[in-house]
Amino acid sequence: MRINELFETTFNPIDVDALKQDLVAKQAEFDRLGGMSYQYADRMMPDDYRAQQLHREIDSLSRKIQAAGG
């Protein structure tokens, strides 16, 4: 966890429901882009880069939700 995230969560309550909604939306887009198939691409296309970015964002959101007790 980064320092600014620590202070952000200390002073501002986390809206777990909003995080979960964001997670569902990102997961749907990730699935639409082919999911984990970007890992097997010989050459990365724009959709593969987007899927890779979404994968990282999904992991980050999952950790935030878990840390918030959701």
Q: What is the pLDDT along the chain (70 residues), one digit of tens a residue?
A: 566 666 655 566 788 999 999 999 999 999 999 999 999 999 999 999 999 999 999 999 999 999 988 7
Give the separation between CA 29 and CA 35, rounded to whole angstroms.
Answer: 9
Q: Report which secondary-structure segment, H or E, holds 46.
A: helix 46-67
Are 68 and 16 in contact, with CB atoms under 8 Å apart? Answer: yes
Model pTM?
0.78
Segments making up each domain of the chain, as ranges: 14-67
Q: How many CB atoms lie within 10 A of CB 27?
A: 17
